[in-house]
Amino acid sequence: MKHEQHKLDCRSISNLLGESFDGRLARHEALAVRAHLLQCPSCRRAYGELERLREWTQGLPVPSLSNDFQDKLFERIHSGEGASMAILPQARAVRGIAWFVSGMATAAALLLSAWLLFGGSGSKEPNESASRLAVNSNEFRTPQQQASRQLAAFPDTLGLRPADAMSVARRLVQNADESFQRTLRIAQRAKHSRDSVVLRNQVLPSARESYLSAGVALRLQGQQIDLLPETAAYLREVHRHTQQIASCLQSSHLDLERFERIVQQAAEVHAPKRITAQFVFSQKGAGTSDGQQQMRIEIRRVLPPGGDVQALQTLCEIFRRQGLRLQMFGAEGKLEVFESSGR
């Protein structure tokens, strides 16, 4: 039976963009989203920004895990080893239904927690590319250019791989902060030249990059990303100051004194020092009304320079092959690891 293509408003689209990028929409929903984006410049710009973020994350190299780590992971998963109650609290009743955690999900989740907390597969060679930005700020595209480029080859399936969706969430906060700090450093050096052309060429690309990353993160807040209040507040400040910097630089007559005041005010914004990630593991089986066994693992840790986006992408692929679902929900937190059975 064919589904009628129903129209969606902008509010509905904002709630579906995350699922479309995860490839979790039914075909008729994906077609409805596509039809709306073709007609709505505002939502098309939002989709174009997310598409650009996908390009960043797809350009990241995916490291290989050691055979020892993978062997241990598969051994623990297949053995059905679980966690003691001292580690894993008793399953709670959610809407009158107990959420049970299987040995497979428990073993995999605990391994992931330890893997993230204690530094991964044990490889001693740092990945230098992980600490570099995955985008050239001089290649910034306007939202209109992004939309035109996207519509030129619009995909039938509006989807990202799950690994990409996770790395987008982690990368957004990191890139917004890195490009914001870089904008301030460049502005402090360039302002002494008092040359409007030099200021525009050197400062504007980095300011736009920070503005874009912070803006997308705030737009996804509460949908795909769960930010701590202090992180959301910081990103709002980054978004506001980079918008002011860009607007000042793009004015027909550059007011250098105003530019210096804006940069000075922006330099007084302090970034939070905590990074966290929250994941949900799902496995089909008995235990809930929809046949899904779920386990929520919240992993909080200080993010090292360069982050661990590639490691998460690799782990996602391993879990996918084992029939487990790994999904990222957040960013920002403190050094802490704990497991709980849902909320």
Structural domains in the chain, CATH included, are: 8-55 (no CATH), 161-282+295-301 (1.20.120)
Per-residue pLDDT band at 302 (split at 50, 70, 90): very low
Per-residue pLDDT band at 52 (split at 50, 70, 90): low
Measured CA to CA, the distance from residue 335 to residue 304 in angstroms comes to: 11
What are the backbone angles phi and psi of residue 159, rounded to the nearest 5°?
Answer: -145, 150
Residue 333, C-beta contacts closer than 8 angstroms, at least 6 positions apart: 228, 274, 275, 276, 277, 298, 300, 301
On average, the pLDDT of the chain sits at 57
pLDDT of residue 223: 57
Tell me if the pTM is above 0.75.
no
For 320, other C-beta atoms within 10 Å of its C-beta total 14
Query: Bigger pLDDT: 76 or 198?
Result: 198
Does the pLDDT of residue 41 top 80, yes or no? yes
